Amino acid sequence: MVRWKIREMTRDHLEQVMEIERASFPTPWTTSMFLYELTSPLSFHFVASKRENRSDIVLCYIIFWMFRGEVHILNLATHSAFRKLGIAHSLLLFTLDFCYRRGGILYLLEVRKGNRTAINLYQKVGFASWGFRKKYYADTGEDAIIMGLFYGDQAYGTKGDEQTLLP
């Protein structure tokens, strides 16, 4: 069983994040793109990691923007050795909760039309297809599915132990 904690991404995580990024995407983000996000006031960035030999091992990461109630998920990836363990699901739920508590009500993302694993993950937490961006991905010419989630009209509360109840 793998146990992980969610932490804010720092420069110290960047080398491992870049390894995951390069293994996960046909056209990975560059180190400078990640560095920009680490300093942008609109950007939030978290890793799911485990401790091993006194150091963090990055299992999964997410980067998103939040501005006036709108959240745009930019990047989410899991280390190939740790996929299908619920880590990305956990990090995505953390993100929804984190943003909702700060006023986030509209959540958007783009996903490759052929990425069934990611589409299934997003649908599992409530995202729905809202449209398409034709030939969005320049590297392959693949279409993107625009997926969205709106919490503005849904109930939100906590259990007695202050654990959040997402709709």
Domain boundaries, the chain: 5-165
Q: Output the pLDDT for position 55.
A: 87
Low-confidence ranges of the chain (pLDDT < 70): 153-167
Residue 51 to residues 2, 4, 48, 130: CA-CA distances in angstroms?
Answer: 10, 8, 10, 39
Residue pair 145/132 in contact (Cβ under 8 Å)? The answer is: yes
Tokens, residue 21: 């990024």
| DSSP, residue by residue, 132-157 | EEEEEETTTTEEEEEEEEE-TTS--E
Q: Output the pLDDT for position 167.
A: 46
Q: Output the pLDDT for position 54.
A: 87
Residue pair 67/78 in contact (Cβ under 8 Å)? The answer is: no
Identify which of 134, 93, 95 has the alpha carbon closest to the alpha carbon of residue 113. 134
Q: Output the pLDDT for position 153.
A: 58
Long-range contacts for 162-167 (Cβ within 8 Å, ≥24 apart)?
164/97, 164/100, 164/101, 166/93, 166/96, 166/97, 166/100, 166/125, 166/126, 167/126
Q: Output the pLDDT for position 111.
A: 96
Q: Output the pLDDT for position 155.
A: 43
Residue pair 46/8 in contact (Cβ under 8 Å)? The answer is: yes
Q: What fold does the segment set 5-165 form as a domain?
A: Aminopeptidase (3.40.630)
Q: Output the pLDDT for position 156.
A: 46
